[in-house]
Structure 1
């Protein structure tokens, strides 16, 4: 029997070594590349829900266009090409397994010429792919060694900040899509054998005070542009961005859009603090967790229960049905967005959340994971 041979990036799971020719097969869903809304990927939603979420969807849509333009000009300081950006996005999408997202980035990546087949290029792409997969799936393993490995393969400081923004953004996008699809009652479609993210080791949270310091050089004020200075002045006043802003201001437009999304979703309510605590605990961001625990004003004992892990949290939640519904939804969305379904939304609605409020709360969950990863990846806790 004649053996079939299939070439190209016509599937979700791509190898780090690519072919230099343009004769690749089409992706599984080639039309997924052509969408009017590159954030929601043309997901059909009720007008009232879209209108209720418009304030935070607008900057998110702008970020998707900014991070993944059709044409990217590279230079000595900005070496991340369009292929690098979409390859990184596809790697992250694969980790989370949201089919619509995987189809989109696979379809956009497929026609692009990959890097040359030299040892240096293959090593660079392999390191980028490994880093993206680790930060997406097990952020607590990322540290100064991981950042050093990116530097060794030629990534500049702007490149390293960009790759972390891309990884965080695609994780946010995956969770927003998962929540919106759940609100429509779409069936869950996840690949058998796809692992669920494990919680960060409890030892990271044994201390009750900790600082955070950047592991990369911040912008130099005397050489900063007017746009960088304006973005820094505005967003370093936001508590969640205070330490990150001097780094993220290297790309002031991306910082401003992240800040606008954050401002639109952030609330000082108990459910929002609880969701952020849970994501910080699962992802392993000690700095985020301790800052949130200081601001906690809800039921006593909850931050300690979150700190102590799953068993303690389940025991605490038995007598708190409102918090229990929030915990169950946020945990699954953080650990495995591909498995998130209407079964996690219904308990929130039974506790008094409207669909729009539940969606916004869980979008905040995705954004909190983005902030966790930026703190872990760009500094030392």
Structure 2
């Protein structure tokens, strides 16, 4: 008996069930699928700002094309279809709440044929959706059991690495868009009742040392392709990608583009270290947090205040206006990018940041969240 194929959602709120009627497959904003720039989604920005950010926007655009090509060839080792990729992206975009992003992924997903209606396919899609929603909204709940559940529904190691890359990338894209929209003075448009991400439990950061390890098989030099060897040689010495590169090298092009984006945004300033610390604390990446505290060269006591939570940070920042502006902007952008606006960007400018520097710092905050989710989704912190 031929299995029935069904078509996508009629709006950007996505669940695991899809409509059977092809005539109902129009999204709310169908034109959002057709953009020249699949990272900025045709957001109109001043040329000065675009040119200043070009060094990291170029690899980010290429990553969007790499992760979400128009045609995807599935295989025994790579089972994630175009539908799976865009469905995962839309689930993450809904969590982050940036409307431009939701419209885009919904419009691209809507016309695609969904999986068949078998129990196995429904279970697989439900598990993918649950994992995407959890890693996007509450990354600290993800662990080896979560990866085991993905394995149980048939996802391969390259699939599991890819789903984590997609969720992290969409989070980075959401926060970059939020920062750019704030620079234009756009009003925020968030849905009433949408929850704000809660900080990871404080007990995750009680230990003064942690070792990160993955339970997934990594690419080893003896079995790597030439492209994988080149990518590993270039990026496994990058501090932020240490340990991750042998896993991400399953797709060497995506690894290289992530590395180029990271290299363009990373700066050795205390503000950059601070936003990365805040992202790691909120998202729950113990290894990222401890690595950053070892590199900290700013005011003494600030990493401990970040570790101890909101009340300690407020008390510390009372007499530090620059750091207070950075903290407030990074916290809201990490917890709820859909609520980020010029009200958080203006204090940074008042403390001497140019618009370009402020946007790049906030984009780095988003990229730090991506790295946090890769560390959480692909491995475990061991005390």
TM-score (norm 1): 0.97
CA contact (8 A) 2:9 2:19 kept: no
What residue in structure 1 maps to residue 4 of structure 2? Answer: none
Asked if 2 retains the 8 angstrom alpha-carbon contact of 1:20 and 1:116, the reply is no
Worse overlay, 221-230 or 282-291: 221-230
Over residues 265-315 of structure 1, what are the superposed CA-to-partner deviations in whole Å (9 max), with x where a residue is unaligned? 001100000000000000000000000001100001000000000000000
Distance 1:330 1:19 in 2: 39
**Could you tell me which residue of structure 2 aligns to residue 220 of structure 1?**
220
The yes-or-no answer on 1:354 pairing with 2:347 is no
Compute the displacement of 1:220 (Å). 3.1
Instruction: Give the Å deviation of 1:19.
Output: 4.2
Task: Please state if 1:329 is matched with 2:333.
Answer: no
Output one character per residue of 1:90-122: Cα deviation in whole Å (capped at 9) or x when no partner.
Answer: 000000110000000000000000000000000
Counterpart-to-counterpart distance in 2, 1:102 and 1:357: 27
Question: What's the offset of the Cα at 1:215?
Answer: 1.5
SS for the counterpart of 1:115 is strand
Give the direction of change, closer, same or farther, for the CA distance of 1:173–1:117 in structure 2 (3 Å limit): same
Give the C-alpha shift of residue 223 in structure 1. 1.9
Relative to the length of structure 2, the TM-score reads 0.97
Please state how far the C-alpha of 1:20 moved relative to its aligned partner: 5.5
Q: Structure 1's 374 and 109: CA in aligned 2 closer, same or farther, altered over 3 A?
A: same
CA distance in 1, matches of 2:267, 2:309: 25
User: Where does structure 2 lack aligned partners over 5 or more consecutive residues?
Assistant: 1-6
Residues paired across the two proteins, number: 375
Alignment of 1:254 with 2:286, yes or no, is no
Deviation at 1:8, TM superposition (A): 5.3
Contact preservation (8 Å) 2:8, 2:112:
no
The offset of 1:15, in angstroms, is 2.0
Partner of 1:168: 168
2:11–2:26 Cα contact (<8 Å) kept: no
**CA shift digits 1:148-201 (9 cap, x unpaired):** 000000000000000000000000000000000000000010000000000000
In 2: Cα distance, 1:200 partner to 1:354 partner: 31
* Residue segments in structure 1 that go unaligned for 5+ positions in a row: 1-6
Check the 8 A contact 1:232/1:246 in 2, yes or no.
yes
The reply to whether residue 131 of structure 1 matches residue 151 of structure 2 is: no
Instruction: Give distance in 1, aligned partners of 2:241 and 2:70.
Output: 29
What CA deviation, in whole Å up to 9, does each residue of 1:201-233 have, x standing for no partner?
000000001100112000132221000011011
Q: 1:67-78 to 2 correspondence within 5 Å?
A: 67-78=67-78
Query: Residue in 2 aligned with 1:105?
Result: 105
Paired residue secondary structure (1:23): helix
- Detail structure 1 runs of 4+ shifted over 4 Å in the superposition: none
Provide the residue aligned with 1:121 in structure 2.
Answer: 121
Partners of 1:144 and 1:28 in 2: how far apart? 37
DSSP-derived class of the 1:102 partner:
helix
- Give the structure 1 partner of residue 200 of structure 2: 200
Q: CA deviation at 1:21?
A: 5.5
Query: Alignment RMSD, CA only?
Result: 0.9
Q: 8 Å contact 2:8–2:114 — kept in the other structure?
A: no
**d(CA) in 2 for partners of 1:19, 1:85:** 18
Q: 8 Å contact 1:18–1:114 — kept in the other structure?
A: yes
Deviation at 1:10, TM superposition (A): 1.5
Match of residue 36 from structure 1 = 36
1:20–1:113 contact (8 Å) kept in structure 2: no
CA spacing shift, 1:84–1:279, aligned 2, 3 Å: same
